[in-house]
Structure 1
Amino acid sequence: MSVSPAVFRGFVNPVDPRPGELRAWAYAPDSVPLQAMPPDWDLLVSGDRLIDTLFDLALDPQCPARRFALHCLYIYAADAIRTQFRAHPRRKLRKLVETAEEEGDDLITTWAHNTRMLLARPDLFNYHDWCEGGLVRHGKRLA
């Protein structure tokens, strides 16, 4: 699945970006490097409002910010599961996992597998892996 990029013209409010802004930035991430974003920007954008946009970006192998989007999916999944779905709806996470399994490549199906593993065994949660990008950087598949 390829998402058509738009021209990135900046964020009106980087703490609360619009889906179109996030999508445009993801195809030109060097225009505003992650280091220039507010602290914990990954945690700020990993919510219900932007998760569909992040999911689309993570599905697109051509997206330059794909790994960032995937990292945000890990944050979203961990947040949902660790709060027993008070933070994010179970139905939404289930739909994302199913779509990832049906449409994704190895990178995104690994996320779906790891999310299912965390659902079954919440003790597998490790903050570094799930919220600081460890699982994305190492491509680790939980057993």
Structure 2
Amino acid sequence: MIFKDLQHAWNPSPEEIRAWAYSNEKIPEQDWELAVNSFENIPMICTFIDDEKCTHTSFFLSSLYVFTGDIVRSGITEDIVSLYELVDHVTKTAKSEQLKNWVERSKHLIKHPKEYDYDYWGLGSKYVY
């Protein structure tokens, strides 16, 4: 068990997220995407998606879509600018088609926020599942 308790799972360290990414453990808590998503964690999450050894690639890809959707839907200009910069950085390092698709879709949503659709940018994204 990677997390001592549910409260600890909702405030995971990068090391705990990394350990879980390569484990066979089930998701520690429903909607855990919300616990792992932060500007600081997104670069690490992107490396998981590009790594074939990661056992939870779909989970992390879905978390990226949730992250983009939540930021764009918030309408907070500063966060949207930070998201665009982050996505632009990932453009230069993305290896997998899945990650490249997220980059392109995110750039499109940032430019066209009225096209937000929860089915694609919310929990259980149709882009992933």
TM-score of the superposed pair, with normalisation by structure 2: 0.82
In the alignment, residue 128 of structure 2 is paired with which amino acid? V
CA distance, structure 2, for counterparts of residue 96 and residue 59 of structure 1: 16
Superposition map of 1:95-114 within 5 A: 95-104=85-94, 105-114=96-105
TM-score of the superposed pair, with normalisation by structure 1: 0.75
Gaps of 5+ in 1: 1-8, 138-143
Q: Which has the higher contact order (CA 8 A, sep 6+)?
A: 2
- Considering only aligned residues, what root-mean-square deviation do their CA atoms show, in Å? 2.1
1:25 aligns with 2:16: no
CA distance, structure 1, for counterparts of residue 35 and residue 77 of structure 2: 17
Deviations 1:82-116 (A, max 9, x none): 1123684622x223322332222211110011001
Identity %: 25
In the alignment, residue 100 of structure 1 is paired with which amino acid? V
Q: How many residue pairs end up in the alignment?
A: 124
In the alignment, residue 115 of structure 1 is paired with which amino acid? S
Give 1:70 shift: 1.2
CA distance, structure 1, for counterparts of residue 93 and residue 61 of structure 2: 15
